[in-house]
Structure 1
Amino acid sequence: MDISRLIRRMPAVLLVLLISSAAVFAGPQAEGGSQDVLMQRIEDGKTIRIGFANEVPWAYPGDNQDPLGFVNQITLDILESMGYTNIEPVVTEWGGLIPGLKANRFDIITGGMYILPSRAENINFSEPIGVFGESFIVPAGNPEGIESYDDIRESGVTMVTGSGYSSVEHAKTVGIPDENVITVPGNSEILAAVRSGRAYAGAGTYFSSLYLAEESNGDVEVTDPRKNPDWTFNWAGIGFRKSDTEFLQAFNEALAEYMGSPEMMENVAEYGYTESQLPGDITTEEVVQRLE
Structure 2
Amino acid sequence: MKQALKWAVLACGISLLAACSDSTDNRAAARQNTLEAAKASGKIRIGYANEAPFAYMDSASGKVTGEAVEIARVILGRMGVKEVEGVLTEFGSLIPGLQAGRFDIIAAGMYITPERCKQASFSNPSYGVGEGFLVKKGNPKGLHSYDDIKNNADVKMGVVVGAIQSEYAQKVGIDGGQVIIFPDPVSALSGVEGGRADVYAATALTVNDLMNKVTDQALEKAEPFTEPNIDGVDLRGYGAFAFRNADTEFTEAFNKELASFIGTPEHAKLVEPFGFTRDELPGDVTAAKLCGQ
Distance 1:47 1:10, change over 3 A: farther
Q: Please say if residues 51 and 89 of structure 1, whose CA atoms lie closer than 8 Å, have aligned partners that are also in contact.
A: yes
Report the number of matched residues. Answer: 283
Distance 1:224 1:123, change over 3 A: farther
Q: Please say if residues 113 and 238 of structure 1, whose CA atoms lie closer than 8 Å, have aligned partners that are also in contact.
A: yes
* More displaced 10-residue stretch of structure 1: 127-136 or 63-72: 63-72
Distance 1:198 1:31, change over 3 A: closer
SS in 2 for 1:128: coil
* 1:133 matches 2:130: yes
1:38 Cα deviation (Å)? Answer: 1.4
User: TM-score w.r.t. structure 1 length?
Assistant: 0.89
1:176 Cα deviation (Å)? Answer: 0.6
Q: Which amino acid aligns with 1:59?
A: A
Pick one of 170, 179, 182 that aligns with 2:180. Answer: 182
Pick one of 73, 76, 81 that aligns with 2:73. Answer: 76
Q: Please say if residues 127 and 282 of structure 2, whose CA atoms lie closer than 8 Å, have aligned partners that are also in contact.
A: yes
Task: Please give the alpha-carbon distance, in whole angstroms, between the structure 1 residues aligned to 2:31 and 2:91.
Answer: 27
Task: Please give the alpha-carbon distance, in whole angstroms, between the structure 1 residues aligned to 2:85 and 2:16.
Answer: 36
Give matches, 1:160-239, under 5 Å. Answer: 160-217=158-215, 218-224=217-223, 226-229=225-228, 231-239=234-242
Distance 1:66 1:16, change over 3 A: farther
Q: Which amino acid aligns with 2:38?
A: I
Task: Please give the alpha-carbon distance, in whole angstroms, between the structure 2 residues aligned to 1:119 and 1:74.
Answer: 21
Q: Please say if residues 42 and 81 of structure 2, whose CA atoms lie closer than 8 Å, have aligned partners that are also in contact.
A: no
SS in 1 for 2:245: coil
1:216 Cα deviation (Å)? Answer: 2.9
Q: Which amino acid aligns with 2:165?
A: S
Task: Please give the alpha-carbon distance, in whole angstroms, between the structure 2 residues aligned to 1:39 and 1:17.
Answer: 35
User: TM-score w.r.t. structure 2 length?
Assistant: 0.89
SS in 1 for 2:291: helix
Q: Work out the percentage of aligned pairs sharing the same amino acid.
A: 37
1:189 Cα deviation (Å)? Answer: 1.2
Q: Which amino acid aligns with 2:103?
A: F
Pick one of 254, 257, 273 that aligns with 1:251. Answer: 254
User: Which deviations, in whole Å up to 9, do the C-alpha atoms of 1:153-210 show, x marking residues without a partner?
Assistant: 1122110110111000100111110111111111011111101111101111111112
Structure 1's unaligned 5+ residue stretches are 1-8
Match of 2:63 in 1: 66
Task: Please give the alpha-carbon distance, in whole angstroms, between the structure 2 residues aligned to 1:189 and 1:117.
Answer: 28
Distance 1:225 1:231, change over 3 A: farther
* 1:122 matches 2:119: yes
* More displaced 10-residue stretch of structure 1: 30-39 or 100-109: 30-39
Match of 1:16 in 2: 12
Q: Which amino acid aligns with 1:20?
A: L
Task: Please give the alpha-carbon distance, in whole angstroms, between the structure 2 residues aligned to 1:32 and 1:97.
Answer: 21
Match of 2:41 in 1: 45
SS in 1 for 2:158: strand
* More displaced 10-residue stretch of structure 1: 203-212 or 51-60: 203-212
1:256 Cα deviation (Å)? Answer: 0.5
Task: Please give the alpha-carbon distance, in whole angstroms, between the structure 1 residues aligned to 2:83 and 2:224.
Answer: 38
Match of 1:264 in 2: 267
* More displaced 10-residue stretch of structure 1: 239-248 or 81-90: 81-90
Pick one of 5, 9, 22 that aligns with 1:26. Answer: 22
User: Which deviations, in whole Å up to 9, do the C-alpha atoms of 1:6-44 show, x marking residues without a partner?
Assistant: xxx998645532431331443466458565141253265
User: Which deviations, in whole Å up to 9, do the C-alpha atoms of 1:202-232 show, x marking residues without a partner?
Assistant: 1111111122223332111112475114533
SS in 2 for 1:253: helix
User: Which deviations, in whole Å up to 9, do the C-alpha atoms of 1:240-292 show, x marking residues without a partner?
Assistant: 11000001111101001001111111111111111110000111111233xx9
Q: Please say if residues 39 and 80 of structure 2, whose CA atoms lie closer than 8 Å, have aligned partners that are also in contact.
A: no
Distance 1:249 1:119, change over 3 A: same
Computed over aligned residues only, the root mean square deviation of the Cα atoms, in angstroms, reads 2.4
Q: Please say if residues 39 and 81 of structure 2, whose CA atoms lie closer than 8 Å, have aligned partners that are also in contact.
A: no
